[in-house]
A and B are shown apart, each in its own frame.
Chain A
Amino acid sequence: MNLKDTAQVNISTTAFKETLINFLVPLICLVITTLVGLLWIMPALRNLPAKQQELAEAQKLDNQLTTKKAHLEKLLDFRNVVAEDSDLFDKVLSSEAKVPELLAQINLIAVENGLSVTKLNYSFSSKVAKASTETPSANLYETVEVSLGSTGTYSQLKAFLESLENAARLITVEDVRYTADEDSAALNINFLLSSPYLFVESSAVTDEAVTLDITDKSFTNLINVLKDLRFYEVTADDMPEIAKEESEPSEEIEVVEGEESSE
């Protein structure tokens, strides 16, 4: 019986070895296929989208920086024009409140148009411009509000408003009220005016695009509009004597600095 069992074991071992030898090549091929698939192809397929995304972003940044560099070089070529435009905007939209100069300008415009100024007060407020979608916070500017009391005729009132609308630094009319006597053409007119100012202090951000285009049509149109405004070169010394009305408490004109406070 032992001899028979041994013979049987020997036969199955031999058959197994024979099968292994016959299917050696397919087995090796399968093993290599599996190893290549698991260790190379699957990781590569997993990493491919991320690599493509990285390449797309690098391409985009490359294009953006190329455009920005060309843009800045163009601005550098036109630096005199850029400096001129900057000066123009600084005059139209002051970087500081410059209250005495503002009040002197308003007084000058009023007097030029025949109004007699009886009251001139100011205060501070903050306003937000109708922001663009890009950087709303960049359009936040401060305003000086000026309360002007005067007397004059209706024609003088109209002329004063027109002069204000054509004046640089920018002055916006917020409110107008007047009363008149039946027997005379003189009006007691009260204006509430506001003048914006914006202090800008940008820094160079390498990867961020510069959107300003000084050759853009809307920019050049605005420049032409601003150049047509009338510029008043006034100083605090030009401020004439005016009769101050003792009305509700508010900040009055002082040439001395450091008296400004926000509402």
Chain B
Amino acid sequence: MAQSINLVPQSEKREQAKKRVIRASTVFTIFLLLCVLGAGGYLYYQQVQLETQLTEHKSNIAGLRADINELADIEIVARNLDKKYKAVSSILTSRSYYSKLFAELEKRVPPYVQILDFSMSKTSEVSISGSGDNYIAISSFLANLGRPSKEVATEGMEGLFTDVTLNSVQLENRNNNVKYFITSKYTQGDLRK
């Protein structure tokens, strides 16, 4: 039977193994070094790019600041105008146009009803007192305020008066007139443009 006989001595085998290890470690460390140098080079390139761009932007910024400083006069005028514009805009947006309320109220008052006292409160409430020829007239006034028909109310202002309450009503014996006192809330939004 044929058998392979290894005639290489042990010392030679150890020598060959040692050489393989040396070669492998050399190759690996050189490869590692090349990778690290490559990464370092890439980072260096990045930094140089960043520095170049930063320097360019800083130079632009310095030039722009100088130009803008020369336009200081118009900037001050623009800022002043901007402040007034914002203030006027907010005033007109939040302003209530009470001429609309009085125009609408006039339409809602039926014949034979008189308003003798009118006042408003800061909580969007009106107090109306006066007299009418009879209870039907007062009732009609209440209905016109709270649930107006299309003929009575201006389009879009139907909901102007809400929570209409007849607080008191009494007959005056002297002239058979009916005195009334009504409170109602009004919708601020309907009085704005």
Contact = CB atoms under 8 A, between A and B. Distances in A.
A218 B83 CA distance: 15
A75 interface: yes
A227 B57 CA distance: 44
Contacts of A207: 65
Interface residues of A, number: 83
Contact of A86 (B29, B37, B80): B80
A36 B68 contact: no
Interface stretch (A6-14, A99-107, A155-163, A243-251): A155-163
B83 A198 contact: yes
Contacts of A22: 18, 22
User: What secondary structure prevails in chain B residues at the interface with A?
Assistant: helix
B27 to A, nearest CB: 9
Interface in A46-77: 47-48, 51-52, 54-55, 58-59, 61-62, 65-66, 68-69, 72-73, 75-76
Nearest to B109: A154
B91 A177 contact: no
B10 interface: no
A202 B76 contact: yes
B103 interface: yes
Interface in B4-29: 18, 22, 25-26, 28-29
B136 interface: no
Contacts of A217: none
B75 A72 contact: yes
Contacts of B115: 180
B143 interface: no
A161 B78 CA distance: 33
B151 interface: no
Contacts of B33: 29-30, 32-33, 36
A19 to B, nearest CB: 9
B117 A180 contact: yes
B116 A85 contact: no
Interface string B61-86: 10011011101101111111111111
Contact of A83 (B25, B44, B77): B77
Contacts of A36: 33, 36-37, 40
A41 B47 CA distance: 11
B88 to A, nearest CB: 5
Contacts of B91: 93, 129, 170, 172, 196
Nearest to B65: A206
Given A69-B71, A161-B102, 15 more contacts: A22-B18, A26-B25, A33-B36, A37-B36, A65-B60, A65-B65, A86-B80, A86-B84, A129-B91, A157-B102, A178-B117, A181-B116, A200-B83, A210-B79, A212-B82
